[in-house]
A = this chain, B = another copy of it.
Amino acid sequence: MTAPTEGRTMHSPQHQHGDARHQPRSVATHRAAVADLLAPLLTADRVETLALRDALGKGLAHDIAAPLSLPPFANSQMDGFAINTADVSDGGAELPVADPVPAGAVPAALARGTAAPIMTGAMIPAGADAVVPVERAVPDRFPAPGAESTVWLPATAAGTFVRSAGSDIAAGERALAAGTFLGPAQLGLLAALGVGEVAVRRPLTVLLVTTGDEVVEPGQPLPAGKIYNSNGTLLESAMRQAGLDVVRTAIASDRPDELRALLRSHAGSVDLIVTTGGVSKGAYEVVRQAMEGQAAEFIHVAMQPGGPQGIGMFDDVPFLGFPGNPVSCLVSFEIFLRPVLSVMFGAPAPRTAVRARLAHGLTSPEHKHQVRRGSFQPDGTVRLEGGDSSHLMHALAGSNALVHVPAGVSALAGGDEVEVWML
């Protein structure tokens, strides 16, 4: 069998053969293809209702309208005196002190011409329209409970230090939109609204299969010529961090029938198959061979690293084939799969994208979107970690960001601005 080459250049002669005949896809085109592949998984029955505690890190399934206003009632922003502002003239006024208003109670209406001590968060009594902070009163403290006394208060505008009902959100307004990532603040809002459980999108279960007969699991002795399996740990961790359920397995055989049997044994219980390795055009490409006869294609994306990609269906399960180098794997996940999950399912939260100045120059293949690894610095610069080679795990582990060099750019200088995704 003739093994065609990996076709790393845009116009290599191999493009006339088989599935390599197409021009490389753009990053955006391939990401859209991944979105199309996963779209059928966005069904109404992939929703589960969870207690707030269990919904952390999930994507909200439906819009949620506020069942009540926040705050639910007008309340005091300060410890102070609730007054009717008409009772205090421009020069201030001495008023008798009424019964205090604690938080959590429904107070009696304020008698005109009196001032009621009120605690932060307590309901504004009917008839009151402002709060004077206690430190502006004379004397500047509350009288002992039960003691009859008066207090001098300065003139105050109506509404001062009153949190009006619905000033944060009004009942019936949309509190959260479907597809919102549920972090602490979003769950805290639901709790404030009295919502005790929430419908979220069920996370995808991914079958992760690393391939390569040169690969040994960590903790085992390393025979000469072999390397340890880092893709499994790297991708499983990245997927779990992104909220996916992962079934991880590895195959060290280069026999396509064994890989097919492995995939079939899991296919009924997973939503997505992701493989690593075996997708380029070398002589021993077990994933390409196992997918023969399936509705899957092996294409080249104009990206470095991570150019060779497989995509399609294995039987009736969506399939993505990432390349075999660890950095290529992670970049494939971060550029193609993770952003699609964020947009489509609301989880994980999207990566923060920032503009940064390069600490030093770089070169990039002009027809490819290059993804470099870097350290984003507090001063807004980004330092490249390691070179552009996709085997540099130590450099990756010292990075906190992916640096984007778009297609059409062949060189950048120190100080040039780039887009950076924070890892």
Residues in A lying within 8 Å of B, measured CB to CB: 1-9, 12-14, 52-53, 56-57, 66, 68, 70-73, 77-79, 100, 102-107, 117, 119-123, 133-135, 140-142, 144-145, 163, 168-169, 175-176, 183-197, 212-220, 222, 224-238, 240-241, 280-284, 324-326, 330, 352-355, 376, 378, 380, 386, 389, 391-397, 399-400, 422-423
Contact = CB atoms under 8 A, between A and B. Distances in A.
Contacts of A236: 53
A13 B135 contact: yes
A236 B241 CA distance: 19
Contacts of A14: 135, 140-141
A6 B391 contact: no
Given A9-B135, A225-B123, A187 B237 contact: yes
A330 B193 contact: no
Given A2-B144, A354-B354, A191 B397 contact: no
A330 to B, nearest CB: 7
A371 to B, nearest CB: 14
Given A140-B5, A191-B230, A233-B53, A353 B378 contact: yes
5 contacts: A104-B213, A122-B225, A183-B423, A187-B234, A192-B393
Given A79-B282, A188-B393, A389-B77, A218 B241 contact: no
A190 B168 contact: no
Contact of A102 (B77, B197, B216, B284): B284
B8 A233 contact: no
Contact of A135 (B8, B218, B376): B8
Which of A14, A52, A213 counts the most B-chain CB atoms under 10 A from its CB?
A52
Contact of A227 (B2, B192, B241): B192
Contacts of A353: 378
A219 B197 contact: yes
A72 B228 CA distance: 10
A78 B9 CA distance: 12
Contacts of A107: 225
A381 B94 CA distance: 49
A6 B168 CA distance: 24
Contacts of A422: 352, 422
B176 A393 contact: no
Given A52-B218, A185-B330, A397-B188, A79 B237 contact: no
Which of A14, A72, A145, A397 counts the most B-chain CB atoms under 10 A from its CB?
A397
Contacts of A396: 185, 188-189
B195 A218 contact: yes
Contacts of A280: 79, 120
A109 B6 CA distance: 25
A233 B389 contact: no
B168 A194 contact: no
Contacts of A103: 212-214, 225, 284
Given A5-B135, A104-B225, A397 B79 contact: no
A185 B235 CA distance: 9
A121 B225 CA distance: 9
A228 to B, nearest CB: 5
Contact of A6 (B9, B78, B196, B380): B78
Contacts of A117: 283
Contacts of A188: 230-231, 233-234, 237, 326, 330, 393, 396-397
Contact of A106 (B72, B183, B224, B378): B224
Contact of A133 (B5, B73, B122, B187): B5
B73 A224 contact: yes
Contacts of A77: 389, 391
Contacts of A397: 175-176, 185-186, 188-189
Contacts of A354: 352, 354, 380
Which of A183, A233, A422 counts the most B-chain CB atoms under 10 A from its CB?
A233
Contacts of A133: 5, 8
